[in-house]
Structure 1
Amino acid sequence: MSRKLFGTDGVRGRANSWPMTAEVALKLGAAAGHFFRRDDSAAHRVVIGKDTRLSGYMLENALTAGLASTGMNVLLVGPVPTPAVGFLTRSMRADLGVMISASHNPHEDNGIKFFGPDGFKLSDQAEAEIEAMLEADLPLAPASNIGRVKRIDDGRGRYQEFVKTSFPTGLSLEGLKVVIDCAHGAAYRAAPEVLWELGATVIPLGTAPNGTNINDRCGSTHTETAAEAVITHGAHVGIALDGDADRVMIIDETGKVADGDQIMALFAARWGAEGRLKGDTLVATVMSNLGLETFLKTRGLHLKRTAVGDRYVVEEMRKNGFNLGGEQSGHIVMTDYATTGDGLAAALQFLAEMARTGEKASTLTRQFETVPQLLKNVRYQAGAQPLAAAKVQQVIAANEARIAGKGRILIRKSGTEPLIRVMAECEDEALLLDVVDEIVEAVAAAG
């Protein structure tokens, strides 16, 4: 069953433009409510969280109306991180969880992500079935059985107490000065409070959301803000979250940024040494650096690659019982603690390593030497299919031949934006640049 509305991480787009309109959200709510409402009892409930985007109010109300119309009772938890919705859905015995967020995208965008009763994101098949219902004449609940709606004031607090349990007993963050950049997003209150409660001296950034400043020159996609603060305040480490706090970047005491590959390498090596890494395997996407793969092999560990998207990482982990995975972009999935990427939980694991070993962040974030990697994005017009063009395919094939045996090329469409992502890895940096630029030029001409 095909999907047109859903991308790699739910439904996403420009707010007040299709598909991020109140009308579509209303229909999505009704379809999801019908899909998850298995009988006519009054016990069915759904948890809805959101980040701090202005459009979140509009979409929250529309989704609520659609869900309530099918008899679902709606619990509104307000601004909370995406992993909090996964946790609360399972913790509160809800049939469905919804997160309204466009993650690291600018405030003009928004998105809708669904979680099943187990707290995990929905499968492609489930999303396709919900999408197919949008044009159907769905049965509505009788007037006496319309769903009730109420706000839950302690949802964030529940998540904060839960995420603190992932921090090892007996350790403390006393003596650590930590910069935390919340990107004016969903964790603007939760993250600084958790760090302070665990003993850290906290320097908070990005904690004054106004509806339009989420991810604006801050957070995990603009790490220069946190890096500057680390240097200015003489902090031991910086933590940069994205708008919905499901990804993290670590900044060492010198201001250098470590991506998800280095963080995953640290965790995999530690867990592997302790016998905690299930299957001796780390799950990552095709985007992860070749250096990570080599690092794991030298320690007798394995790397399993998936398509891009944390949902596909999680699917592979669940299928084979692995407990650690993630993406270079900073999604770190630790199923011992959470059902999805959790930037704050991953940050706590990193800080625990600092506290346990006494090592500087700069030591812990340099686990392996990266193979030179270059990624460039090419925006294309709506309806265009640049990768199908014969000229583009010829250029790609020619450059794959040039780099064969020396590196690799990966080209894919973004699942959340009208972009073609062109990535290559090669020890010969001059060849790397030339290969990527030739492909980018051809894609741009065709798009």
Structure 2
Amino acid sequence: MDAASVPAHRLRRQDVKTLVLSALGGALEFYDFVIFVFLAGAIGQLFFPPETAEWLRTLQTFGLFAAGYLARPLGGIVMAHFGDRHGRKRMFTLSVFLMALPTLVIGLLPTYAAIGYAAPLLLLLMRVLQGAAVGGEVPGAWVFVSEHVPARRVGLACGVLTAGLTAGILLGSLIADAVHSIFDADAVLRWAWRIPFLIGGVFGFLAVILRRYLAETPVFRAMRERRELEQGMPLGVVLRRHRLAVIQSMLLTWMLTAAIVVVILMLPALMPKLFDIDTMTALRANTAATLALTIGCVLTGLSTDRFGLRVTLGVGATGLAATTYLLFAGLAANTPHVAALYALTGLFVGMVATVPVALVRSFPPAVRFSGISFAYNVAYALFGGLTPLVISLWLRSERMAPAHYVTALCVLGLAFAIFGLPDKKSDNARISAPEG
């Protein structure tokens, strides 16, 4: 069946290839960014003075993790500018190259015992570089896949791409699990903690190779042929004409950060400290949750195409709040079913795949990359970057703080589902064709 004979709502062979390569490349890059959090315990011991109080070491380590988020807006804004002016594919490839180098360097860094305070400062610099790279990656990936597929499959495209990004988290969890299984605690602290970062450097360069086989989006090619590209500053147009879309996109991103950062990234490191669960049990439960999250993203994408954005977001936000409290109640009761409860929660975390669909609907093609990149990265820098610090401080007085935080943001998502989002599937037409 040739491309011309494929129904408008069906994915063509080229669309499938684009989705697969984009998702795989995104998984490899996101692995590079998040592997840090799975080794937070070892990094905290190795890169800060040994006499540091445990709560302060945790705060400092998550602060370094947060630095990557705080650096995202600058990298994202710069890459989005050139993505709107000169092409999506170039920036899509550049972002993954810029991620691979600092990941490799982290795996080679000397620790505090060798070079003192220079160690955490160098680690901070590498996290900033990683953040700048991922700032262009995530919005660019959503724009890239949504502009390749038919309008009625934008939900699936965003769901598959988001599943690829979360698969990078799963890969990080698996490799961290393997390192802790194969090596004893002393070996991990001496040298084995470096293995995941060195592997990540290799993964990053593999992703660069994969993206050479992708084509520019039909939407961008059409705008270029019709001379409809934004000639000035795309971000200036966004801030002048699309302020409401920016605010809505930032609030939805806040919900996304609560789900991903707290439930998936922070909880494996917090469970041993809060509920006396051993590290291996926590990591294996997180692996189950992240696998469920990856599946949940695809199901959310399919549901968005089938039932609409409002229904999918409303059901997902309600389910995530309920399952998060159920998980924490089970942890507090020392349940033997940690992995099952965590996996159920992870499945509902997959509702975050509604966010990119809402974001790509919010901005016209000529400034889409810049609009999404600015709103998403500034919100992630603010909310995603500060969330670990807020949770760490809140936990000093309230063990259920992570569940309270996630639920509060789910209420925000539910409010958007009821009042704040258009739900016309015809809005997808704005994604797949330039505005005339």
TM range (shorter): under 0.3
TM-score with structure 2 setting the length: 0.27
User: Which protein shows a greater Rg?
Assistant: 1
TM-score with structure 1 setting the length: 0.27
Structure whose residues are more often strand by fraction: 1
Greater relative contact order structure (CA < 8 Å, 6+ sep): 2
